[in-house]
Amino acid sequence: MSSSMYASSIPVFERMLGATSEILRKAEADAEARGIDQAVLLNSRLAPDMFPLVRQVQIATDMAKGCCSRLAGLEVPKWEDNETSFAELRERIERGLAHMRALVPDQLNGSEDRDIELLIGGQAMQFKGLPYLHFFVLPNFYFHLSMTYAILRHNGLQIGKRDFLGAI
């Protein structure tokens, strides 16, 4: 299998967001079974200075939709960060997946040298497409998905590495 910008991005995002959606489904069922208010889990964090679970999922979906849009030379869809339930987070993931699935390989392939500029914390950051994907987006994407997993696992959800990785 040859590598391309499309193959290195959209299928990766699809698989990992799909696995995360399934983890969120399990978390919802577990919270209900244990009589835990969803808000408690959605606002849980591993340390006082880190983002809560709900924000971790929002950032991961933003990284994926933003990356694919920028690599395709499209405007990034703007979404409100107002999810208050596991179901709403899963809907957000599905919205992101639908956006990515609407893109075709030719829209992303050849974007290795596309100029990408982001404003982060008031500071402009410039990238070329390939380093943007490999060294900025993918590490951030996996980080926030890992935090989602870790927060839920820390709160007693019986999941393991296979859940994180999704169906192989």
Query: What per-residue confidence (pLDDT) applies to 168?
Result: 74
Can you tell me whether residue 127 is helix, strand or coil? strand
Query: What per-residue confidence (pLDDT) applies to 1?
Result: 47
Long-range pairs for 42-51: beta carbons < 8 A, 24 or more residues apart: 42/83, 42/84, 42/85, 42/86, 42/89, 44/151, 44/154, 44/155, 45/151, 46/147, 46/150, 46/151, 46/154, 50/147, 51/147
Query: What per-residue confidence (pLDDT) applies to 28?
Result: 98
Specify which residues 123 forms β-bridges with. 120
How far apart are alpha carbons 137 and 63 in whole angstroms?
6
Contact 25, 110 (CB under 8 A): no
Query: What per-residue confidence (pLDDT) applies to 2?
Result: 62
Contact 100, 61 (CB under 8 A): no
Per-residue pLDDT of the chain (168 residues; tens, 9 = 90+): 468 999 999 999 999 999 999 999 999 999 999 999 999 999 999 999 999 999 999 999 999 999 999 999 999 999 999 999 999 999 999 999 999 999 999 999 999 999 999 998 899 999 999 999 999 999 999 999 999 999 999 999 999 999 999 977
Query: What per-residue confidence (pLDDT) applies to 59?
Result: 98
Helices of type H across the chain: 10-34, 38-42, 53-71, 86-101, 105-108, 129-131, 138-154, 161-165
Return the H-helix or E-strand segment holding 115: strand 115-120
Residue ranges of domains in the chain, CATH in brackets = 10-165 (1.20.120.450)
Query: What per-residue confidence (pLDDT) applies to 3?
Result: 80
How far apart are alpha carbons 18 and 110 in whole angstroms?
26
